Amino acid sequence: MKKATALFEIQQDLTENRFAVLYVQAPNCGVCTVFHKQVSALLEQFPNIAGIETNIATVPEIASAYHVLTAPAVLFFVENKEIWRSARFIDMKSLQAVLQQYLLEYAKFLKNSSA
């Protein structure tokens, strides 16, 4: 995942990538560390999805910009629109299902539009 140290970097990455997952963690957060590894491993299975990570202590304005009130938080964006989020205890199966569903639907769309 790409590390973002400023809000404008996050916004730019979300704008530039059709599919993106934003991972927000907090300092000294054991749960954040565990889920970071799991989310990173999951995103390796989806090369078409950009992974962006940030720390709420480094980018505190993330809290108000994206309504992130607890960490860890995972937000999935499609064309810069938030589609799915989970915080504190991330449901990894649900995240994986949402990512697969959107990529499958996008592939169907591309196939139908080129036919």
Location of structure tokens 């196939």 = 111
| 2-114: CATH, from 3.40.30.10, 3.30.230.10, 2.160.10.10, 3.40.920.10 | 3.40.30.10
pLDDT tens per residue, range 98-114: 999 998 888 777 777 76
pLDDT digits (tens, 9 = 90+) for 1-14: 999 999 999 999 99
pTM score? 0.92
Enumerate the domain spans of the chain: 2-114
Bond into 60 cis (ω within 30): no
Closest to 62 measured CA to CA, from 115, 101, 114, 14: 14
Q: Tell me the percentage of the chain whose pLDDT exceeds 90.
A: 88
Q: What is the mean pLDDT of the chain?
A: 93
